Chain A
Amino acid sequence: MSRQQWPLWEVFVRARRGLSHTHVGSLHAPDAELALRNARDLYTRRQEGVSIWVVPATAITASSPDEKDAFFDPAADKVYRHPTFYEVPEGVAHL
């Protein structure tokens, strides 16, 4: 029979500078310090230079995927915001 549950935390990891944090999974821990240590063990295998965020799952407010268009910036319409829209002329590097 289970007793007091260790709350759920969501884990976000930024593997390298320049990238942003991405969600990698979740874990259970009694507090933030242990959550961070556990996340380091579990999701990064203690690689150095990695930034970890742990967030109590209850602190996250989520939208639903079937929220209607008005809730979102309909970025699919504004296709000119996405880099693949533009054709890069031949010979242009690093763009």
Chain B
Amino acid sequence: MNPTYALALRHGDDALIAAQRLGEWVARAPELEEDVALANIALDQLGAARLLLSYAGELEGAGRDEDALAYLRDDREFRNCLLVELPNGDFAVTIAKLFFLAAYQRRFYERLCSSTDARLAAIGAKARKESAYHLDHAALWVLRLGDGTAESHRRMQAAVDEIWPYTHELFAADELTRQAEEQGLAVASHTFRPEWLAEVDAVLAEATLRRPDDNWAPGGGRDGLHTEHLSYLLAEMQVLHRAHPGARW
């Protein structure tokens, strides 16, 4: 499989599923200003998803555009990490997911700017600034929830404990990361995990939060083996589009 295609699909799916989950917060965020902020982040992720999936469709050369890829694949064909498909939970869980994801995406997109593939490089250049903003926003909230009230600390710690195992998949090395690195398409993420960890640790420490040990490391998303959550998410996302085959919207 063309590694550029596989890369665009993997990261496009990350962004798409992340956007879908964030969109669920509309009209239910803890404060109106946060409704605006989360919608903004959802839009950014969706924008990046559209760029990546469109490119993937072109590379595939089978006539699939961004919508065909988003709406007509089953969960076994999605290549997103498990972290993004997990339910939103409470605001602390959502922030934990966003924080770990944005710290990863920012570093990934930054390095993507030097890709040997010009299109990927351009996408990286655009997405990394947005990612930096997502990371900033999430980190501010990790601090406030971790070092706020006893209840917020309890919830934020529980969120970190729950989401932590899913971060390992972000840095797993596989055939694609090896090929991408070899061809200068993208840096293998395990190479920047130490930097990611340093930033994450610093924020968690300042937020008076602990991070769990690294034992359980669920994965499989990169190969299409997802949690039970994804097929429910896709059912909702795809239902209308699938009900009208071939229609334009």
A and B touch in the complex (CB under 8 A): yes
The answer to the question of B122 belonging to the interface, with a C-beta cut-off of 8 Å to chain A, is no
The answer to the question of B37 belonging to the interface, with a C-beta cut-off of 8 Å to chain A, is yes
Contact in complex: B136, A37 (CB < 8 Å): yes
Contact in complex: B144, A37 (CB < 8 Å): no
Interchain CA distance A38-B137 in the complex, whole Å: 10
A19 to chain B, nearest CB (A): 24
Interchain CA distance A27-B33 in the complex, whole Å: 8
**Total interface residues on A, using CB and 8 Å?**
12
Contact of B36 among A6, A28, A30, A38 (CB under 8 A): A38
Return the chain A residue nearest B34 by Cβ.
A38
Contact in complex: A30, B140 (CB < 8 Å): no
Interchain CA distance A29-B36 in the complex, whole Å: 13
Query: What does the 1/0 interface line of B174-217 toward A look like (CB < 8 Å)?
Result: 00000000000000000000000000000000000000000000
Contact in complex: B140, A41 (CB < 8 Å): no
Query: What does the 1/0 interface line of B26-62 toward A look like (CB < 8 Å)?
Result: 0000010100110010000000000000000000000
The answer to the question of B232 belonging to the interface, with a C-beta cut-off of 8 Å to chain A, is no
A30 surroundings in chain B (CB, below 8 A): 144
Interchain CA distance A34-B136 in the complex, whole Å: 10
Most chain B CB inside 10 Å of its own CB: which residue of A27, A33, A41, A42: A41
Return the chain B residue nearest A6 by Cβ.
B31
Contact in complex: B133, A42 (CB < 8 Å): no
Chain A residues engaging chain B, CB cutoff 8 angstroms: 6, 27-30, 33-34, 37-38, 41-42, 46
Pick 6 A–B contacts, CB within 8 A, sort by A. A28-B33, A29-B33, A33-B140, A34-B144, A37-B140, A41-B37
